[in-house]
Amino acid sequence: LTACPGADPRVDVRVGSIADPSFVASVVGDRIDGVFHLAAVLSGQSEAEFDAGMRINFDATRGLLDACRALGTRPRFVFTSSIAVFGGPLPEIVPEDMALRPQSSYGAEKAMAELLVSDYSRRGFVDGVACRLPTIAVRPGAPNSALSSFVSGIIREPVAGIEAICPVPLDTRIWISSPEVVTKNLLHAGSMATTALDVRRAINLPGLSVTPAEMLASLERIAGAAARARVRSEPDHRLMRVVCTWPAAFDVSRARQLGFSQDTDVDAIVRQFVSDASRGAVGGGASGKVS
């Protein structure tokens, strides 16, 4: 673990493991007003390393909640959950109160943690909001262990002049949101009045239902045919067994009523990333350069 580069001088950066109770206790001090819990072992690693996923995604989440509980001040607790909590037979548009039937260890860990956030909120230990994040695209930096990492990769890498692989059928529908909108929505979750949530502490964040084919068509429109040509299809059946169980469209009417934001269209997402990359504001794959 390393400190975040270029941190704002107003930010006190502390580096440690969320699975270390003494470190968590040192961070969750008497003066905090809230916690944004983003730490996680992602979907690919959770499938490959069951114990690591459970230790970080569930056990450490409970430890963090207990540290907040010990404060006695009912701090706001924003938990980043996932659409991977859903699975199995699903309607075309998934309602927020759909039964949770995760088809991966990652989804199961997130679903269990959602229940913890809900119960700790019911008991008055924290004031929790569980945000079910769409797949974030286009995510800057290097690929990560998420099974959905390719969703950003098929845009990010070609823009940087690097070849990329799409491991799922091009007509696979995926629920996505841009980093800018997801960040805005997490901040909203940290400041909104939670009285309207009642007992329903989990929220399906707004997103767009798109296919890789639609994303690549947008890439060609905005970055050119050469960028599109850098992406090839190469099915990964192990990955498809998980990713293709994820729902691809959600009823987000409640989230919109609560003031959460939504991306306009896939072109706006790709255009923003290409613009940021051209200014050197993002890491483009391995090079950070735009070709």
pLDDT for 44-95, tens place per residue?
Answer: 899 999 999 999 999 999 999 999 999 999 999 999 999 999 988 999 999 9
In degrees, to the nearest 5, what angle opens at C-alpha 117 toward C-alphas 16 and 65? 35
Asked whether residue 4 is domain-assigned, the answer is: no
Asked whether residue 66 is domain-assigned, the answer is: yes
Asked whether residue 137 is domain-assigned, the answer is: yes
CA distance 120 to 124: 6
Asked whether residue 284 is domain-assigned, the answer is: no
> What are 202's two structure tokens?
């989990």
The residues annotated as belonging to the active site are: 106
Asked whether residue 173 is domain-assigned, the answer is: yes
pLDDT at 8: 79
In tens digits, the chain (291 residues) has pLDDT values of 666 766 678 888 889 999 999 999 999 987 789 999 999 998 889 999 999 999 999 999 999 999 999 999 999 999 999 999 998 899 999 998 999 999 999 999 999 999 999 999 999 999 999 999 999 999 888 887 788 899 999 999 999 999 999 999 999 999 999 999 999 999 999 999 999 998 999 999 999 999 999 999 999 999 999 999 999 999 999 899 888 888 899 999 999 999 999 999 999 999 999 999 887 766 544 444 444
Backbone angles phi and psi of 150, in degrees to 5 = -65, -25
Asked whether residue 87 is domain-assigned, the answer is: yes
pLDDT for 175-205, tens place per residue?
Answer: 999 999 999 999 999 999 999 998 999 999 9
CATH number of residue 161's parent domain = 3.40.50.720
Domain extent for 91:
21-278
Residue-wise burial string across 78-92, b where 16 or more C-beta atoms lie within 10 A, e elsewhere: bbbbbbbbbbeebee
Asked whether residue 34 is domain-assigned, the answer is: yes
pLDDT at 143: 81
**Number of structural domains found in the chain:** 1
Assess contact for 39 and 113: CB atoms under 8 A: no
Total residues found in the chain within this entry: 291
Nearest CA to 174 out of 135, 226, 123 is that of 135
> What are 286's two structure tokens?
């391995």
pLDDT at 127: 98
Asked whether residue 7 is domain-assigned, the answer is: no
Is the pTM higher than 0.85?
yes
- Residue 140 exposed, middle or buried by CB count within 10 Å (0-12, 13-18, 19+): middle
